[in-house]
Amino acid sequence: MDVAASSLSPRRVTRQISVGSVKVGGGAPISVQSMTTTKTADVEGTLQQVYALAAAGADIVRCTCNDQGAAEGLVQIVPRSPVPIVADIHFHVEMALAALDAGVQGLRLNPGNLRKPEEIKLVASEARDRGVPIRIGVNAGSLHPTIYERFGGATPEALVESARVELAYFEEVGFSDVKISVKASSVATMIAAYRLASETFDHPLHLGVTEAGPLPGGLVKGTAGIATLLAEGIGDTLRYSLTADPVEEARAGRQLLEVLGLRERRGLDLIACPSCGRAEVDVIAVATEAQRALAELQIPIQVAVMGCVVNGPGEARHADLGIAAGKHRGHLFIRGQIVRVVPEDEMVAALVEEASRIAVEGVSARLAARDASAEAEAEADRAALLDDRGLDVNRAADRIDAIRRRRESGAVG
Ligand code: SF4
């Protein structure tokens, strides 16, 4: 476990279920989910999106099953999908049964709009016989009216009660292959609801802030809710609900888990300084170009782009690889050690080349192969930059010493 993951609360112990090949809960890696935005009847279009979501980090993908065409689409989508498919069911019990017939690896039922106990138990019995798990997907915006009235609104207690009532129906037919979500668009409500759910159930929890909206606000809301709970050890699978290309949801989910140290990094982690008046290049432009070029390599590497050589290499010394801008030159460094000095217009190309080599040869080999004169060249650049600014660090230190001595001797009051 890395430093990030070990600084979080231990994960709460939950039961484990299997959504196709993906284990959820019981200590399994936290999985990322997203949902297609295509018509499920459009088999090729939906599969194209499922593949894009899987490539961006989704472990499980949900498709709506809202009509006969969607159910027929699932028959073809499920066997060709690279990840397990969950059918999203609202209102129509027949759609749940058709999705099970299509071979989906999971169902999501909304207790707020599938309300007849006999129908709920029928679906649970069918899922039980086929070994297919169900998510009880409670949503503050579509809470069961009776519960809404009883609790005086979509409170955290009301959301958890809705899940509890549904779970009781399932248990009546001996079905417990269940995960639970209690989503709300209010981050505070959602956090409180999941905390309560975590105390109430030992079933795996699916985290999400529902209807979080477009970027960047949606991302902020989703992260505020999901990350808070993950830091408390709550949550076994997650979905960002963004009004954006769902690939952004999958990407965000995966990145969140990686930055928290809850999943292994499988791609680029670009860190860059925010830039300031000291910057010797347009840091935003260089970082954007580096992000685009390095992401294509699909290498699990942390790369730093720093605006100046005075602070850059030191501040980003933990990065696998980095570049800091000097006097029209870039100082390429590996784990804080300068390995090469390159012309300013070759900074991004040098990063890409070195990242590719690190991926093949490893960090130690690339450090051993560093340009022997690089550190001296870099030092000369740093000194020249300090001189340019009229700073004389040694004389300043002498003056500080002199002032201190004067004050200690009482000559200055
Ligand atoms: S690395 Fe240099 S340019 Fe970037 S923020 Fe720090 S001092 Fe400013």
Q: Is 336 helix (H, G, I), strand (E, B) or coil?
A: coil
Give the pLDDT score at 401: 80
Rounded Cα distance between 241 and 88, Å, is 14
**Angle formed at CA 255 by CA 253 and CA 260, multiple of 5 degrees:** 100
Of 280, 305, 315, the residue with max ligand 1 atoms within 8 A of its CB, to mutate for a pocket test, comes to 315
The structure tokens listed for 32 are: 């990322």
Q: At the top level of CATH, which class does the domain 268-388 belong to?
A: alpha beta
Mind listing the pLDDT tens digit for each residue in 258-269? 999 999 988 899
CB of 174 closer than 6 angstroms to any ligand 1 atom: no
Q: Which atom of ligand 1 is nearest to the CA of 315?
A: 1
Give the pLDDT score at 186: 97
- 403: Cβ–Cβ under 8 A, 6 or more apart, which residues? 412
Give the pLDDT score at 396: 65
CB of 60 closer than 6 angstroms to any ligand 1 atom: no
DSSP state of 319: S
Mind listing the pLDDT tens digit for each residue in 352-382? 999 999 999 999 999 999 999 999 999 998 8
Give the pLDDT score at 413: 46
The structure tokens listed for 53 are: 């979501």
**Sign of the four-CA dihedral 81, 86, 91, 93:** positive
Mind listing the pLDDT tens digit for each residue in 30-40? 999 999 999 99
Domain ranges of the chain: 3-259, 268-388
> Ligand 1 centroid to 315 CA: how many Å?
9
Mind listing the pLDDT tens digit for each residue in 375-395? 999 999 888 887 776 555 556
Mind listing the pLDDT tens digit for each residue in 280-301? 889 999 999 999 999 989 899 9
CB of 308 closer than 6 angstroms to any ligand 1 atom: yes
> How many helices (H) and strands (E) are present in the chain, helices listed first?
16, 15
**Sign of the four-CA dihedral 20, 26, 28, 34:** positive
Segment 61-90 shows an average pLDDT of 97
DSSP secondary structure string, 158-187?
HHHHHHHHHHHHHHHTT---EEEEEEBSSH
CB of 326 closer than 6 angstroms to any ligand 1 atom: no
Of 281, 282, 283, 306, the residue with max ligand 1 atoms within 8 A of its CB, to mutate for a pocket test, comes to 306
- Tokens 């009301």 belong to 158
On whether the CB atoms of residues 339 and 354 are closer than 8 A, the answer is yes
Mind listing the pLDDT tens digit for each residue in 216-252? 999 999 999 999 999 999 999 999 999 999 999 999 9
Mean pLDDT of the chain, nearest integer: 93
On whether the CB atoms of residues 139 and 189 are closer than 8 A, the answer is no
CB of 220 closer than 6 angstroms to any ligand 1 atom: no
Name the nearest CA neighbour of 287 among 302, 301, 307: 307
Rounded Cα distance between 237 and 378, Å, is 47
Please provide the CATH number assigned to the domain covering 3-259.
3.20.20.20
Q: Which atom of ligand 1 is nearest to the CA of 306?
A: 1
411 band by pLDDT with thresholds 50, 70 and 90: low
**Angle formed at CA 301 by CA 300 and CA 306, multiple of 5 degrees:** 155
CB of 276 closer than 6 angstroms to any ligand 1 atom: yes
Give the pLDDT score at 95: 97
Name the nearest CA neighbour of 177 among 100, 238, 98: 100
Q: Does residue 75 carry a pLDDT above 90?
A: yes
